[in-house]
Amino acid sequence: MKEKVLLGMSGGVDSSVSAILLQKQGYEVVGATMRLWESEDQASASICDAQKVCKKLGIEHHVVDLRCEFRKRVIDNFVDAYENAKTPNPCIECNKYMKFDAFYNIAQELNCKYIATGHYAKIEYSSEYNQYVLKKSLAEAKDQTYFLYRINKKILPYVIFPLADFINKDEIRKIAEENGLEVAQKKDSQEVCFIPNNNYIEFIKSYSNSVHTQSGNIVLKDGTILGKHSGLINYTIGQRKGLGISYKEPLYVIELDKEKNEVVVGVEKDLYSKVLKANELNFLIDMERLMGAGEIAEIKAKVRYRSKEADTILKLEGNLAKLEFKEPQRAITSGQSVVFYKNDVVLGGGKII
């Protein structure tokens, strides 16, 4: 009897090819498309594309409505972070609560032992850690492990990433074409799903009546007032353009001070720091096994998705992580995630405070 796997199907080429690969590996595949935020037209298009693929491959398909949960876990969190002068990453929250926690529960209801998605990442049993671990994809440019560090390590043995060993997207599209899938050349989504025009500010203003849009001062680190800002939500750490001030050197946003309602600016060197603190920690391996009797480990870490992994010393103090980097990191931003790596294994991560 074939093992059943519930595959998250967005109607895109990655998840569609994942279905083909899982079938070839001998699984009984069940497809499911989650309704999260999309408009009726967007949802209908995604569902229709997924259903066409399932029909062609002889796969059972379900539509799962998670809109209420998505609003609570992802949207509300996103807006709350901006209201508190932080810069969130909603895809990380969505992966944790929707695409893995809720999805795994649905899989159990459908008698599926495993869940699968079209993420570029890998799950493998590690004799070094004596457990299943999350590892980086071979496709370095598309590796998505940064967005996956918050998933529950208890479900790692039941997660499959069929695209783990593919190097580039052309290979995926070729498989889709060879199997006659209409989605073979469908474009990838590059935007946050609930902000199709990529205008975060307008979305937040329309969603929340309490958003912090009060004008305040733009100041240097020493408190010198240089101008006025139009509300803290309009600014982010590292921003240079659109400040509306003049100075003898180019200036960047280096801090958003909610208490004083100030945008603090400085020269580029002020953007760099060697230290950070993080909370809301989630570890995917047994950290005691990694750190031994001490509370300090030499690892690598990323302070944002597009940044490079950097050498750092990790120190754990209760529910808080303190990191000291070998080289200064640019634009460390409250609300973003820092993700910990040891070689190609994801150790875990936390939210920068």
CB 2 within 8 A of CB 23: no
Residues contacting 31, CB < 8 A, separation 6+: 6, 7, 9, 19, 50, 53, 54, 59, 60, 61, 62
DSSP 136: E
Q: Which residues in 153-244 belong to E strands, given as ranges?
A: 159-160, 216-220, 225-229
Catalytic positions, written as ranges: 94, 193
Torsion of CA 235, 240, 245, 249, to 10 degrees: 150
Backbone angles phi, psi at 59, to 5 degrees: -110, 135
Helical H segments across the chain, by residue range: 13-24, 40-57, 67-70, 76-83, 90-94, 103-109, 169-178, 200-207, 287-291
Dist CA 271 CA 328 (whole Å): 9
